Amino acid sequence: CSCDSSATAQLKSSVDGSSCGCDDGFSDSGVRYADGTVRLQSVDLESDANGTFFGITRDWTNGNGYDRGNFFGSGSVIADQPTLVKIDANKLAVIADGHTSYQFSRTSSSAPWVGEAFLQNTLTYDTGTNEYVFSDAAGSEYRFYNFDASLASHQQGALHTSKDPGGNTITNHYD
């Protein structure tokens, strides 16, 4: 594959430590060999002002479970704004883009979250802020709202803050 510097590649690189954001297992025409998931991406906005990356990169996907429904249309996922999806009481997935998810499971409500498929990233629950915290080996941290019924449905599992290894923090607001 060819390497790129898009928002999706930077997030993926931050999350999994890949050197260029390439997605192994995809054909040249953007179809994942293993399951037929399509990779179709459009970068709408991109900025690296003041050393903090910001962008809007849309991924369209036919992959089951990636699209939570949003303002960008059916099958669209905003790669620059990962989400946390509750699969069941003991399984969560961080959706990084339209074709990349990081799944975590636990054996009981008091057990720690464990990454599946030898995932080196971590997921914890911060009881002080009532947020899920996804961290990678490079030192980036993504905080997600919990799934409490007191939160609006569009806010549940949404990204609250992201912090890069240099300590630059972006806070998202959902008014």
Residue at token pair 């429904």: 69
Contact by Cβ (8 Å): 89, 108? no
pLDDT at residue 9, as a whole number: 44
Q: How much is the pTM?
A: 0.70
The number of beta carbons lying within 10 Å of the beta carbon of residue 158 is 18
Q: Residue 84: its pLDDT value, please?
A: 94
Give residue 92's pLDDT.
96
First vs last Cα of the chain: how many Å apart? 39
What pLDDT score does 2 carry?
A: 40
Query: φ and ψ at 46, to 5 degrees?
Result: -150, 135
Predicted pLDDT of residue 136: 87
* Residue 24, pLDDT score: 64
Question: Average model confidence (pLDDT) for the chain?
Answer: 79
Confidence (pLDDT) at 75: 75
Bridge partner list, 93: 85, 103
**Residues present in the chain in total:** 175
Low-confidence ranges of the chain (pLDDT < 70): 1-24, 50-53, 65-71, 175
Residue showing tokens 């720690």: 112
What pLDDT, on the 0 to 100 scale, is given for residue 61? 76
Going across the sheet that includes 169-171, the strands are 122-126, 131-135, 141-145, 159-163, 169-171
